[in-house]
Structure 1
Amino acid sequence: MLKIISSQDFSEFSQQAKAAPRQRSHHNLHESLDAAVQRLFIATEPSTYMRPHRHSEAHKWELFLVLQGQLDLLIFDEHGKLSQRHSLSPETNRAIEIPPNTWHGYVCMQSGTVGLEIKQGAYSPTPAEDFAPWSPAEGEEGAEQYREWMRHAQVE
């Protein structure tokens, strides 16, 4: 069966993100969480917090494409020092592939941002040890301040 995603769908994804408590929404293209390849649209708003994490399994690369708006990808070393920052948007870099075991986080820079994430499945929740220990968990004290730091942090 063909799956067609229109500009109207992007608008709906963005509206869902704006209405969601976490200020983001997911629209899966894969049929099940057991699918060998996970493919999903993610709509985000600037107030969402995407905690730095890694995918420690050797096969868990991540390909991310920004189709509308802007996200910045931040790459960290194992101690939490920012080592790379990449703007992703239709005007800058459209896509980036992140190798396994790379500490990374995203920060939404523009309202109405929609991206497409592709990674090898099956889906499994991120284990606690794959969240960056130097960053607060979502909803914890300090998470909003850390998100704001991420918005402006620069590589030294």
Structure 2
Amino acid sequence: MSARWLDRALLDAVVAEAQRSPRRRMNRNFHPHDDHPAHRLLNAIEPDSYVRPHRHLDPLKDETILCVKGRLGCILFDDSGAVQETCVLAPDGERFGVDIAHGQFHSLVALEPGSVMFEAKAGPYRALTEAEFASWAPADGEPARRWLDWMLGLFDGERMR
């Protein structure tokens, strides 16, 4: 195949997969395998999905995220867990994406059901190490629900910082 069309049907399909997933998110990779040097993917996320704050330590792993459907709250943290900046990303909003430098702690929350982002970063895929996860934020589980509620609360009234 020489081209792949990205359309509403594709967005709807990945959203439906996320809504059925226990993690309440799902990615659709465009790169052919995990060792590929350029990772490009859609990531559908629901408002009750927790993305543990993390960073990418590899200097080649800067990450670009574009909101293509719905609304996302992006949170940047300093190394101690203090919020540095928040922003609402939306396809028709003032800000529709973010380019995050390696080493920057970040997380995202879906501000409405059916939200989808496009992500791009260098491959190959390597699972995050413990040093890349924020030690000050909980792993998945019940404490994570409280943390997710706190992160969502940063966007009450869709305020932007």
Same fold (TM over 0.5): yes
Structure 2 unmatched ranges of 5 or more: none
Which residue does the alignment assign to 2:133? 131
Following TM superposition, by how much is the alpha carbon of 1:153 offset from its aligned partner in structure 2, in angstroms? 2.5
1 CA distance for matches of 2:109 and 2:7? 25
Counterpart in 1 of 2:122?
120
Shift of 1:129: 1.1
- Report how many aligned residue pairs link the two structures: 155
The 5-angstrom pairing of residues 46-85 of structure 1 reads: 46-85=47-86
Give the deviation of 1:20 after TM superposition: 0.3
Measured after TM superposition, the shift of residue 128 of structure 1 is 1.1
Quote the offset at 1:48 in angstroms.
Answer: 0.3
1:5 Cα deviation (Å)?
1.9
Give the match's secondary structure for 1:53: coil
Name the counterpart of 2:89: 88
Match of 1:106 in 2: 108
Runs of 4+ in 1 over 2 A off after TM superposition: 153-156
C-alpha RMSD of matched pairs (Å): 1.4
Farther off after superposition, 3-12 or 17-26: 3-12
Separation of aligned partners in 1, 2:60 and 2:12: 33
For 1:10 and 1:60, how far apart are their aligned partners in 2?
A: 25
The equivalent of 2:40 in structure 1 is 39
* Secondary structure of 2:52 counterpart: strand
- TM-score, length-normalised on structure 2? 0.92
2-side partners of 1:145 and 1:91: how far apart? 30
| SS of the residue 2:92 aligns to | coil
Name stretches of at least 5 consecutive residues in structure 1 with no aligned partner.
none
Correspondence for 1:144: 145
Please list the CA deviations of residues 59-83 of structure 1 after superposition, one character each: whole Å capped at 9, or x if unmatched: 1100000000011110001110001
Q: Distance in 2 between matches of 1:13 and 1:34?
A: 22
* Residue identity opposite 1:2 in structure 2: A
Q: Work out the CA distance in 2 between the residues paired with 1:91 and 1:133.
A: 35
Deviation at 1:43, TM superposition (A): 0.5
- TM-score, normalised to structure 1, is 0.95
- In 2: Cα distance, 1:57 partner to 1:86 partner: 24
CA distance in 2, matches of 1:84, 1:22: 26
- Which whole-Å CA distance do the structure 1 matches of 2:27 and 2:98 have between them? 19
Q: What's the CA shift string for 1:106-126, capped at 9, x where partnerless? A: 111110001100001111000
